[in-house]
Copies of this chain bind each other. A is one copy, B any other.
């Protein structure tokens, strides 16, 4: 398994973080799980950015290898696989929140103004809310 065995290029924590999730498709999958409530391959594949299916399959595998997401049979249909963020994946929330703030500050984006206001008013409260919403997912049955 090349991905697991390859030595890291340096011990710098930024480099190590980037070696794990430092490509845009990986973080877009994390975004879909974190903010959009996506849980299935089909949902990721249908995201607005149009990820290619071979890249999607590769990144899901890679994120699972690194313990950022976990896959499991869908409780409501055991033939289907669903994905969820692990605690290690949920801990990426502050990184993504800072990206949102940087994006809306410096680029023209389609971010909902209400969401941006909520983050700016109280960043920590927003992150706690996201964490709580993600914790609740396994308890829900999907309609």
Q: Which residues of A contact B (CB under 8 A)?
A: 9-20, 22-24, 27-28, 31, 48-50, 67, 88, 91-92, 94-111
Contacts and interface: CB of A to CB of B under 8 A. Distances in A.
A17 B91 contact: no
Copies in the complex: 2
A23 B24 contact: yes
A18 B29 CA distance: 12
Most chain B CB inside 10 Å of its own CB: which residue of A18, A20, A91, A95: A18
B20 A28 contact: no
Contacts of A15: 24, 28, 31, 48-49
A17 B48 contact: no
Contact of A101 (B16, B18, B94): B94
